[in-house]
Structure 1
Amino acid sequence: MTVTHRWLALSTLGLFFFMVIVDGSIITIAVPAMAAGLHVPTSQINLVIAIYLVGISGLLLTFGQLGDQLGRIRLFKWGTLLFTIGSALASLGISLPLVLGGRLVQAIGASMTMANSYAIVTDIFPMAFLGRALGVESIFISLGALAGPGLGGLILAYLSWHAIFWINIPLGLFCLIVAWRVFPASSAPAQTPTIDWPGTLWLITAAASFYVFTSTLLTQPVITLLSLGLFTVALVQFSQAERRAVKPLLDFAIFRHPLFSRSLLASFMSFIAAYFFTLLAPIYLQVVLHTSSQLTGLILMIAPAIALVANPIAGWLTDRYPQVRVMQWGMVLLVLAEIGLVLSNGQHEPWVLGSLSILISIGTAVFSTPSNTLIMSSVPAEQRGMAGATNSLTREFGMVLGTTLATTTYYGSLSVLAGRAALTVTGQVPQHLLHAQSVAYLAATILLVIGLWLIRSRKVMTA
């Protein structure tokens, strides 16, 4: 590939990653409009969110395995096509079953692309430029994680909810055309692909039960316990199935690489901690500080705006300096920012929160770019699909677990202070909200300190 084709391919991978991540959260703001349009209760619209997230999480490792066997670029092309078709089906909006069917097709396509995106970047870029390449891709991922609700609100202000899916069609076709014309041709598979069906089924069960567990944690204790039990059983069965499989979805030998295993676990801690800020910052701004919606939106856009600059710089640092050392710098910045959030008391705002947002964005970029680079470069080429899929799966579970832990610690602390069950911030004492926020951010700080310890280990430093 020429240099121009490499960067065009990277931009295409990033754009599609952006769409896939946005579609995981953009529905949240359209729930009332979709319920009215489809003539169903809002609770049923939650299935539109669940089927997408569970489908992606449950199939990532399967398509990572197939990417290693059939060719990652081939899987990316087919995944792009399926995601576009699923978007078209969902956009018709004739009935809830049709929308759910479209979302399932979307999830299958999204999983195929996400599972192989990191590996494709690693395949097409020389190792000397890999940090910069993954830094650029991280821009799209960061923007996608933050842009969903805002983009959805903008669309609903002028168009019907169907347009949430319409916009994927031209973008998906564009990505597909570039993939066919620019990406290297996939070679014919050397053998008939082998799918680990038992592992796939147990992973889907684990993803579904984990989603139910996190969704009912504060409201339905019986269902929460049952789903937690099923999740535990599914994980045990998945582990046993993988040890018996001829070609497992997840070869546990991959975790013998200290750079891979510890970088992945540290990333998991950072993913969890990141969603504490995502959940609590809007509450702090609007309920405690009484900031207008417009100003809140502007303050929350600071982080993605800084990410546009921070991620490429982090990529340059990754290619120039020892990657473990750069990861440590990033994690230290994240720990310092989290301590600042713990100490936030409503004074000197919004300057304090804005400054901490900048620190979080820089820290995330400086940590995640070398982390992704180490994860992808520390395994053999034939395991890159598995490594990339595992990395994406870690982010998906981190997102859900982070939201759950943030919600549990925040509202749990609020309930203790209020002397009764508190599942809403409405009518709560501002000082109680600040205290509950500090407790939640303290939990996130502990997670980040664990992550820092993992990458400061002598095993990582000397690997």
Structure 2
Amino acid sequence: MSSKKIQMGTQEKWIVVVAGIGLLLSTLDTGIINVALPTLATDFHVNAASIAWTVTLYTLSIVGTIIVFGRLSDKFGHLKIYSLGLIVFTVFSVLCGFSQNILEIVGFRILQGIGASMLQATAVAIISTTVSEKHRDSAFGTLSALMGLGPVLGPSVGGAIISLCGWRWIFWINVPISIIGLIGCRYFLMRNKEVHNSNSIDLSGNLLLTGAILALLVSVSTWNSNGGYHLLTVVLLGACAILLFAFTKNEARIEQPIIRLSLLRNKIFSASLLAIFVFGGSTSLGFIIPPYFLEQISHLAPWQVGIVNLSSPLGIALLSKVSGHLMKRFKPIRLMTFGLIVMFISYAVLGQMQNNWSPLLMALLLFLYGMGGGLFLPANISALMEAADKDSHGTIGATQRMVQNLGIIIYTALASNFIHTTSESQSVLMGGLRNSWIFAALTFIVVIIIFVIILTSKKKVRVSN
């Protein structure tokens, strides 16, 4: 019997590795291309705005299709959609590396993003439906660590690859890692029968939701470049609101909606979605803002900036495993609340940053933020999955990733506006950086208050009973 237990534990560890490979690759490729943009612009003889579409459209294709693939994975099997995602991601990674002009690389990046969407939509559901309940929280901790490392390792890994091998290898490096993931998928598909459901695919709901998301993302982009009161920005925000209203009406009237709106009446579920939005956006500021300060104020070399920027994901990676174990003793909502408080403290202090601050102090505060994030993220995944039926875990996992990505996009746009008018003045730059930190800290306060209200109300209910 003891050997059987060891075998089951080993199999579960490999399931986490396989699921983590896709999540790491798809998040890594969100940032790995950033350092290559100047090189690509030179090679393809285009300006910076044109080559930036390789980043923008990759992200749009993920956010715009992720719910669809989450839903498809609930119907046809999480590992099957995940395997298909690995194939699509790998094929178009190879083609990205062979691109000869701007149209080719932009087109291949869109299709690579669709593969990434399949991976992000299913990774959490693979674990929640395959790993035993006893080890699930620990598995979520490992997955959260990989989720935190991907975005910030992208620029570091990309810079090293470009220096040693050239920009094409930032895409081709995905191939051997993807092959390992595909072998693992094949192994588990042969030995595990996935549970499917008979739910229909709500095409009208998918189109309305995708349209609303795309309208929101394009409005953010136009707002960032033209201002919040620009006519196109206002029109797109209005279109987003109309499409969302139509989506909710559609979901309320059909028998098998994409997302059961009744879930939103679950206070913990709704609060957890809001929290992952704030976490995603605030964490992105921890990657964007420090380089401005460290390069322009502290005058550090790029490699030194990269080391400081690793502080936050290091904290996430270290504490995610701890959070997975702590969930055996504490409810996810309590761990999320504590993690949110730690992240708020970090950003509230960073909101007071001064010109003479040492890079070490910033690194310590970012590490503190990462520790809070590491406590928060596995608990957030667990809370969302606990609220949903098992046959909709793919959809809920996809929703979590979509909301987190929306937070990243919107907070990035806001931060760009805070520091857009920096000119040559260090005081103006510092003001913009401080305002970015303070904005994120204020949004943490809002979420913390909501969580405290939920915790307090739960206590009152128990006392009254």
Gaps of 5+ in 1: 412-421
- Please, which of 437, 452, 455 is the counterpart of residue 456 of structure 1? 452
CA contact under 8 A between 1:74 and 1:186: conserved in structure 2?
no
- 1:86 & 1:461 partners in 2: Cα distance? 49
- 1:384 & 1:285 partners in 2: Cα distance? 41
- 2:197 & 2:400 partners in 1: Cα distance? 26
Aligned partner letter, 2:393: R
**TM-score where L is the length of structure 1:** 0.91
Q: Does 1:134 align with 2:131?
A: no
In structure 2, the partner of 1:259 is 268
Q: Does 1:182 align with 2:191?
A: no
CA contact under 8 A between 2:152 and 2:313: conserved in structure 1?
yes
* Cα distance, 1:51 vs structure 2: 2.2
C-alpha distance 461-116 of structure 1, shift in aligned 2 (>3 A): farther
C-alpha distance 304-242 of structure 1, shift in aligned 2 (>3 A): same
- Please, which of 429, 450, 459 is the counterpart of residue 433 of structure 1? 429
* Cα distance, 1:6 vs structure 2: 0.8
Q: Does 1:345 align with 2:354?
A: yes
- Please, which of 129, 132, 150 is the counterpart of residue 144 of structure 1? 150
Q: How does 1:202-221 map to 2 (within 5 A)?
A: 202-220=208-226, 221=230
In structure 2, the partner of 1:81 is 87
SS in 2 for 1:160: coil
* Cα distance, 1:206 vs structure 2: 2.5
- 1:43 & 1:386 partners in 2: Cα distance? 34
Aligned partner letter, 2:232: I
In structure 2, the partner of 1:30 is 36
Identity of aligned residues (%): 24
- 1:348 & 1:42 partners in 2: Cα distance? 32
* Cα distance, 1:106 vs structure 2: 1.6
- 1:240 & 1:166 partners in 2: Cα distance? 44
Aligned residues: 449
- Please, which of 13, 28, 34 is the counterpart of residue 7 of structure 1? 13
> Deviation digits for residues 200-254 of structure 1, max 9, x if unmatched?
2223323332232222324323433333233223322332332344432222122
In structure 1, the partner of 2:379 is 370
SS in 1 for 2:52: helix
- 2:324 & 2:336 partners in 1: Cα distance? 11
CA contact under 8 A between 2:74 and 2:196: conserved in structure 1?
no
SS in 1 for 2:15: helix
Aligned partner letter, 1:48: T
- 1:224 & 1:126 partners in 2: Cα distance? 47
In structure 2, the partner of 1:334 is 343
Q: Does 1:380 align with 2:389?
A: yes
* Cα distance, 1:461 vs structure 2: 4.0
Query: Which stretch has the larger CA shift, 392-401 or 106-115?
Result: 106-115
In structure 2, the partner of 1:300 is 309
- 1:218 & 1:189 partners in 2: Cα distance? 43
SS in 2 for 1:79: helix
CA contact under 8 A between 1:116 and 1:385: conserved in structure 2?
yes
Q: Does 1:279 align with 2:288?
A: yes
Q: How does 1:173-252 map to 2 (within 5 A)?
A: 173-183=179-189, 184-187=191-194, 189=196, 191=198, 194-220=200-226, 221-252=230-261
> Deviation digits for residues 271-292 of structure 1, max 9, x if unmatched?
2222222221111111122222
* Cα distance, 1:176 vs structure 2: 0.5
- Please, which of 113, 119, 123 is the counterpart of residue 119 of structure 2? 113
In structure 1, the partner of 2:4 is none
Q: How does 1:84-95 map to 2 (within 5 A)?
A: 84-95=90-101
CA contact under 8 A between 1:257 and 1:379: conserved in structure 2?
no
Aligned partner letter, 1:438: R
C-alpha distance 77-186 of structure 1, shift in aligned 2 (>3 A): farther
Q: How does 1:56-71 map to 2 (within 5 A)?
A: 56-71=62-77
SS in 2 for 1:320: coil
In structure 2, the partner of 1:403 is 412
Gaps of 5+ in 2: 1-6
Aligned partner letter, 1:350: P
Q: Does 1:155 align with 2:161?
A: yes
C-alpha distance 190-375 of structure 1, shift in aligned 2 (>3 A): closer
SS in 1 for 2:281: helix
SS in 1 for 2:200: coil
Q: Does 1:311 align with 2:320?
A: yes
CA contact under 8 A between 1:88 and 1:102: conserved in structure 2?
no
CA contact under 8 A between 2:263 and 2:387: conserved in structure 1?
no
- 2:69 & 2:447 partners in 1: Cα distance? 28
- 2:84 & 2:29 partners in 1: Cα distance? 18
